[in-house]
Structure 1
């Protein structure tokens, strides 16, 4: 088994590498190649326990995705994310359950609803890969990414409820709701505890290798402990990732530079293996169908596949209209508060009590916030068709084979349906989604222009704050070293801010700043600029994706500073 997994890993990584080289969506190519290779006699068969697959693959993939998600954008798009990540999963589970029960009554209603919970959550890996390549607007990517972070938790909670009913437990609707509340509260609490602990470690430990190692281990620990406490391991990992990712700019640049390629490699490896596993298993699962049940199970598979394809757009468009109605209602409440004079008091309290996320203070700001998260019918069409299933559906289906109260025939039917739906959505939606995006023209060219405008404004402000920092240092320099060394300081400051000064600079060696002085002032210059960038982000004036671009530029400057210091000749010993 170890050798077989290694061979599959190598083959999957090779195919994914070709896809990246050619600019193709790697999940789709890996699945198609694995599906074709599964018919070859020498290709190994893999049998992996679903619980193991979930516990090993899901935590790192979720954590890495949460690190990359903008927390500010996530909170702004939370209404759409909540509707899709919770509401759509519930509706899909019920719709699939009813259709499955009508087609195959031997599943029983709890078993059919269990199947609905298994196939309900989409996986945004392939959709995100396509969206990034084609330049989907950030508002669409935020919804798709955010949905994928919480829909697995909803699905797994439903799975627990229906599995308990199959085992003979008597649960009411309120019991199910209580289990969901416990899963959310415990999961988020465990995730925040792990996130705070990991962040404090990263702030206090200067070793990026050790930080990266703890970062690799933390998702597995958060997931396992949350599940043990009857919470949602998915939400624990997501909460930890969002917290650590949001506070990442406060850590050392070496930690960030070590972390980014580490998680990119981890994602690349795990995603390639998962989609290869999906493609390799489908033919084996189909061949194990008994002759008597083959027709019914295949009909069930097609019926469930059509249901998940149809339910998503039928939910997305009305839900979007519902959200827009609430936005209009919020604007009307704003206008009434403005007319009654209560708005000024609220604005005064907001300015006196500054927080990380300042709410809009004017009607124009509120309208601007709504426009940033507003989804057009074209956006909703893309979201409706970006419902490809992935690792969670397969892993839960395989794990369901061991459930008490589920017959072997029903368990095998669930596995077949899960594989057919996963591969079917990957091929049908994944292969046609790029054409749909191009046909609808869902690309926002103004977004890049807005990013450049924000970058220019923040750079201008950081430069002014940096100059103020250097002016304070200039006074301290003159007091400590004398007025005659000010020309040397001015020459150094000129190199930092790249503006002309009155001083000509000095050529004397004793007038130049030492390396330690140069390094200290340069790091201070970077620190004040980073602080301004974070303040702009926290005030809602700077997009988090743009903020990360600016932080990356400053990290590169600090890396250059350290590299120059490492190349300095060391004094020779006497």
Structure 2
């Protein structure tokens, strides 16, 4: 793809995304549809996704951004379902799809069929999370979906590497394959945590918002590349670093948090627009590799298998929980939605593109991966909003926690003002004095306008109050009385207030 074509693709993808956001449509689905339509135009180029760019350049920042916004505590609370969907289901899907592919096409060696299974195993939750957030899925279901998306890519890509090594004869025996898998997991998580700790130390001592943002942009690529060089999972390294830094973000400066959120929101929109646009444009390349459409029934069968395996697994897990009489089990409505969120994405196509073209059945693998990806995106992605509405599981906006968080923060601010009351003031007058100080803080702008000399003192007190309020919010989060999502929302309001106090935004205009 030439520079002019790439620029046209980026501009076009952003334009389609803008239309989707304005019309309240799922941008990933609209991008795929537009890409498919363009691929049918006369003279459309045969474009092949570059796996090295997608896995090494595009995937790390997307995973890192999602990890930063995820809640480590919520992740830990539903670790069971996340591991079951993100690891166990991925492995089961890979083997079942591989078995069916081998039965449908006996000429496809078992090792290659398993490789195809690993390619189509990991769902891409970008579209599902976007739809679920827009329609108000319960917070627990959203946590499971997000957590699964952070884990399943690592599971599938590690299994993919094991299968590739088996085809090349570099890995023999079940023990060797399991050892490769285990080493990749352990090394990946260790690398991510080490880099996360170093990055956190650096960003809390730099006192330079721009350099802290630059450091944040480097972290996901450093995690991925170092882990891959050490034969670990680069995906898990990125996720581990993102979860660690996201959990410790309250310890960073307010300006860093505000700028980091803006930067990663922009990066997400740009990269997601680009990759989903590329999915549709790959059709001419995929069709070029096959001589006729006799392989279409087999590819459609694998599409059905990939969908059915997830449905059976989710409801089978529910039945098992019911038999073991565990108290906490998801409702059948939530399970129905989770079972229908198996849309595949760019990881599947990138993994398929990374298979050497000398591999037996290479053209069929490319075609089947494309059919499963586009089929699940369009079939499940388009029908998922209808399913959520039909089952009536939208969670109404719950402002209880948010109101409680603001109340706790306000109480902390008042308590701090009380500490500032001189000790010599009689007890009966301390409350009145504290109330007057609080009123004075609220009337800050008017006071400063009348007496500019008071600005420094009032600003210092208010910033100390904001710091105390943040400490209380973090303590409530750590005690499990406040969700990360709510804490971050209220903390962002405090950050914006401090930015206005210090003139941070004014200085950037």
TM-score tier, shorter chain, comes to: over 0.9
- Whole-angstrom CA distance in 2 between matches of 1:130 and 1:566: 36
Q: Which residue of 2 aligns with 1:482?
A: none
Give ranges in structure 1 of 5+ residues lacking alignment: 332-369, 479-485, 499-504, 568-574
Q: Which residue of 1 aligns with 2:472?
A: 532
Q: Determine if the alignment matches structure 1 residue 224 to structure 2 residue 252.
A: no
Q: Which residue of 1 aligns with 2:339?
A: 384
1:130 Cα deviation from its structure 2 partner: 0.8
SS at match of 1:514: helix
CA separation of 1:45 and 1:488: change in aligned 2, threshold 3 A: farther
Instruction: Please point out which of 332, 335, 353 is paired with 1:398.
Output: 353
Instruction: Please point out which of 427, 438, 461 is paired with 1:493.
Output: 438
Q: Which residue of 2 aligns with 1:8?
A: 9
Q: Which residue of 2 aligns with 1:548?
A: 488
Q: Determine if the alignment matches structure 1 residue 307 to structure 2 residue 305.
A: yes
Q: Summarize deviations over 1:312-363 as a string: whole Å, max 9, x none.
A: 10001112343466672xx7xxxxxxxxxxxxxxxxxxxxxxxxxxxxxxxx
1:47 Cα deviation from its structure 2 partner: 3.0
SS at match of 2:232: coil
Instruction: Please point out which of 445, 459, 462 is paired with 1:522.
Output: 462
8 Å contact 2:38–2:281 — kept in the other structure? yes
1:563 Cα deviation from its structure 2 partner: 2.5
Q: Which residue of 1 aligns with 2:65?
A: 64
Give ranges in structure 2 of 5+ residues lacking alignment: 426-430
Q: Summarize deviations over 1:271-316 as a string: whole Å, max 9, x none.
A: 111111110112331243124xx41x22221111010011110001
- Whole-angstrom CA distance in 2 between matches of 1:538 and 1:89: 32
Q: TM-score, with normalisation over the residues of structure 1?
A: 0.82
SS at match of 1:540: coil
1:496 Cα deviation from its structure 2 partner: 3.3
1:2 Cα deviation from its structure 2 partner: 2.1
8 Å contact 1:285–1:416 — kept in the other structure? yes
1:202 Cα deviation from its structure 2 partner: 1.6
1:393 Cα deviation from its structure 2 partner: 0.1
Cα RMSD (Å):
2.5
CA separation of 1:83 and 1:487: change in aligned 2, threshold 3 A: closer
Q: Determine if the alignment matches structure 1 residue 442 to structure 2 residue 393.
A: yes
Q: Determine if the alignment matches structure 1 residue 558 to structure 2 residue 503.
A: no
1:564 Cα deviation from its structure 2 partner: 9.1
Q: Which residue of 2 aligns with 1:262?
A: 263
Q: Determine if the alignment matches structure 1 residue 430 to structure 2 residue 370.
A: no
Which one has the largest radius of gyration?
A: 1
Q: TM-score, with normalisation over the residues of structure 2?
A: 0.92
Q: Which residue of 2 aligns with 1:83?
A: 84
8 Å contact 2:184–2:233 — kept in the other structure? yes
Q: Which residue of 2 aligns with 1:375?
A: 330
CA separation of 1:490 and 1:456: change in aligned 2, threshold 3 A: closer
Aligned pairs for 1:508-519 within 5 A: 514-519=454-459
Q: Which residue of 1 aligns with 2:157?
A: 156
Aligned pairs for 1:92-103 within 5 A: 92-103=93-104
- Whole-angstrom CA distance in 2 between matches of 1:507 and 1:385: 59
Q: Summarize deviations over 1:62-92 as a string: whole Å, max 9, x none.
A: 0011111111111111100000001100110
- Whole-angstrom CA distance in 2 between matches of 1:18 and 1:438: 23
8 Å contact 2:162–2:171 — kept in the other structure? no
- Whole-angstrom CA distance in 1 between matches of 2:373 and 2:12: 21
Q: Summarize deviations over 1:358-394 as a string: whole Å, max 9, x none.
A: xxxxxxxxxxxx4xxx421000100111100001100
8 Å contact 2:409–2:473 — kept in the other structure? yes
- Whole-angstrom CA distance in 2 between matches of 1:254 and 1:518: 20
- Whole-angstrom CA distance in 2 between matches of 1:37 and 1:506: 60
